[in-house]
């Protein structure tokens, strides 16, 4: 039995979002094939994802200086929330991400989640004399991404910071088994939109079948 976490970074719903629609198709197949697994959805747009702001930096500084008693209630609340989010990420055996491409990256709450919950020194990676080492081995991940342009195999492929960034972070924390499924060219090729969505949904379901 696996503990599965779906992280969505979209303010909308799957009736309008291609990436969330892919997540629906993925989960449909996954749950059919793995009825005893625990699947939790973390919607980054409906739950509190603290930014690493002045409160968080201040709290970390106080903890490091041995002044935990001076951490304010608000600072402590934000740090505890980030701790709970990273605990949830670390506890997952398999993680699925679904997000649209926005300005070559992902919506900002995905960055907040990467910063606050995924890249945590001593918890998801550690520094060694040979360089940083990821601590989350034996996990796998899938990234479901939708974009208006078509990037793969084109001269603008180097601009796909979205999944490249997230995949890099996953690899950094030790998760090497990462599959990326893309619905590309949704705005670029409006006449092929339905075809692109159908193909991406099929790829998402096929990936779920062997996840
Ligand atoms: C704020 C915003 C920024 C976007 N930036 C990009 C972009 O940089 N590259 C791109 O190919 N598409 C871009 N798009 C188009 C979306 O990636 C595309 O509409 C995709 O279908 C969104 O996924 P969704 O259907 O899950 O919302 C952008 C859309 C929005 C709303």
Instruction: Please give the average pLDDT of every successive group of 10 residues along the chain, which has 211 residues.
Output: 97 94 98 98 98 98 98 98 98 98 98 98 96 96 97 89 96 98 96 97 98 97
Instruction: Look at residue 75 and give its three-state secondary structure.
Output: helix
Pocket test for ligand 1, best of 146, 147, 163, 188 (most atoms within 8 A of CB): 147
Ligand 1 touching residue 101 (CB < 6 A):
yes
Q: Look up tokens 């950094």; give the residue.
A: 172
Which residue is closest in CA terms to ligand 1's atom 28? 102
Strands 94-100 and 125-128 come out as unpaired
Instruction: Look at residue 138 and give its three-state secondary structure.
Output: coil
Q: How far is the CA of 209 from the centre of ligand 1 (A)?
A: 27
In whole angstroms, give the CA distance from residue 201 to residue 169: 25
In whole angstroms, give the CA distance from residue 45 to residue 28: 22
Domains in the chain (CATH in brackets) are 3-209 (3.40.50.360)
Tell me how long the chain is.
Answer: 211
Partners of 5 in beta bridges: 40, 95
The closest-lying atom of ligand 1 relative to the alpha carbon of residue 149 is 11
The answer to whether the predicted template modeling score (pTM) of the entire model surpasses 0.85 is yes
E-strand stretches of 29-171:
38-43, 94-100, 125-128, 131-134, 140-146
From the list 110, 44, 52, 128, the residue with the least C-alpha distance to 83 is 52
Ligand 1 touching residue 100 (CB < 6 A):
yes
Ligand 1 touching residue 159 (CB < 6 A):
no
Which residue is closest in CA terms to ligand 1's atom 27? 17
Ligand 1 touching residue 17 (CB < 6 A):
yes
Which residue is closest in CA terms to ligand 1's atom 7? 103
In whole angstroms, give the CA distance from residue 136 to residue 138: 7
From the list 15, 21, 30, the residue with the least C-alpha distance to 210 is 30
């Amino acid at each position: 039995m696996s503990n599965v976490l779906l992280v969505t970074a979209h303010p909308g719903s799957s009736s309008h979002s291609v990436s969330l629609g892919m997540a629906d198709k993925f989960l449909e197949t996954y749950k059919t094939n793995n009825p005893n697994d625990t699947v939790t959805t973390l919607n980054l747009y409906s739950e509190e994802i603290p930014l690493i702001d002045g409160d968080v930096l201040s709290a970390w500084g106080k903890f490091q200086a041995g002044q935990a008693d001076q951490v304010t209630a608000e600072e402590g609340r934000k740090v505890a929330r980030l701790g709970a989010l990273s605990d949830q990420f670390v506890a997952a055996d398999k993680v699925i991400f679904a997000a649209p491409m926005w300005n070559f990256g992902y919506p900002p709450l995905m960055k907040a989640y990467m910063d606050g919950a995924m890249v945590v020194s001593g918890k998801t990676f550690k520094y060694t004399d040979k360089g940083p080492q990821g601590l989350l081995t034996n996990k796998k991940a899938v990234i479901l991404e939708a974009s208006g342009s078509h990037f793969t195999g084109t001269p603008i492929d180097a601009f796909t910071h979205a999944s490249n960034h997230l995949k890099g972070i996953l690899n950094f924390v030790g998760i090497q088994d990462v599959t990326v499924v893309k619905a590309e060219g949704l705005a670029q090729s409006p006449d092929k939109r339905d075809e692109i969505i159908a193909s991406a949904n099929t790829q998402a379901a096929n990936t779920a079948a062997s996840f």
